[in-house]
Amino acid sequence: MGSNGDEVGGKYVEPGGEFTRDQRYIATRITADGRDGWPVEPGRYRLAVSRACPWANRLIIVRRLLGLEDAISMAVAGPTHDKRSWTFDLDPDGRDPVLGIERLADAYFARFPGYERGITVPALVDEPTGQVVTNDYAQMSLDLSTEWTAYHREGAPDLYPERLRDEIDEVNAVVFADVNNGVYRCGFAGSQEAYDKAYHRLFDRLDWLTERLAGQRYLVGETITEADVRLFTTLVRFDPVYHGHFKCNRQKLTELPVLWAYARDLFTTPGFGDTVDFDHIKRHYYQVHRDINPTGIVPLGPDLSNWLTPHGREELGGRPFGDGTPPPPPPPAERVDPAHTPLR
């Protein structure tokens, strides 16, 4: 997130046309065999994120579920940014304490001087050289599951089980096109026609997901997988941001009973809701997208206490972590500000 003119005062809407996400990412991979020149090595890489961003939120969740906090450190950028990229304005002196940089752009330029595409989070940065390794968020989360297995915690779930990968990939593809990116296609549409098309595509897919999840607790199989992580980070932002700011307003998530119960089930599962900072989420979208929200005013709602109401999804069976165990609480330095979440 951060590409396609994602900047304060920048241009998000494509006048007269459809929003098209720049899908050209840095394709380098960190692998167990190091075939791209970047081997898996604990303590070497730093994951740069913003809690505001749904794509980065996926990596925060997967890292938590797999117990990779000690193997891969995390740099948290603030929720807003300017034309020059995400900044580490939450840290003392506005500088990441490990990488020593004020802006994520510095890590991109260290490897690619004059880098012209989006300075996006999430990104993995090589600490010794200060160079960005990859920002290919979809592959990054899969690689945490498949390439970093030597450093997973005991009891870590298998988020990408081999026997289910084809089905997970199929579900992920349609959820990305119609939901994860679909909300942006509504919000950044530059014509009524483009908006109408994106709106119907989004809610048709949410109806499809409702049917799928009415009789099963998780999207694929009996346990949490990568597919659930990817859908969750959009659903958790739906009412605070996408319903109003992006005009995705056929219903609120709270008015879609199956998906609302599914989202609450995941939210109260360790590793999911404890990564979500609603304040950062709202400040990012409403303050950064000034061509949609020129005043930069951030809504005070919605009330978040209903996230903790009983969801009843246990009756569908399924075990969140299969034969594994929930992750322990986040390290103190990585806990979400209690004022920004209903979780206590």
Active-site residue (options: 12, 45, 53, 218): 53
Q: Catalytic residue at 285?
A: no
Whether 133 and 30 have beta carbons less than 8 Å apart is answered as yes
* Residue that is written with structure tokens 């940089």 in the block: 101
Tell me which amino acid residue 262 is.
Y
Length of the chain: 344
Active-site residue (options: 184, 195, 218, 262): 184
C-alpha 117/C-alpha 108 separation (Å) is 10
* 3-state DSSP assignment of residue 195: helix
Q: Catalytic residue at 53?
A: yes
For strands 81-82 and 73-77, give the pairing: unpaired
The whole-angstrom distance between residue 247's C-alpha and the CA centroid of its chain comes to 20
Q: Count CB neighbours of 254 within 10 A.
A: 18
* Residue that is written with structure tokens 């459809």 in the block: 18
DSSP summary character for residue 273: G
* 3-state DSSP assignment of residue 304: coil
The sign of the dihedral angle between the CA atoms of 10, 16, 19, 24 is: negative
C-alpha 263/C-alpha 209 separation (Å) is 12
Q: Does residue 42 have a cis bond before it (omega within 30 degrees)?
A: no
For strands 73-77 and 45-50, give the pairing: parallel
* Residue that is written with structure tokens 């899908």 in the block: 23
Which residues are identified as catalytic?
53, 184
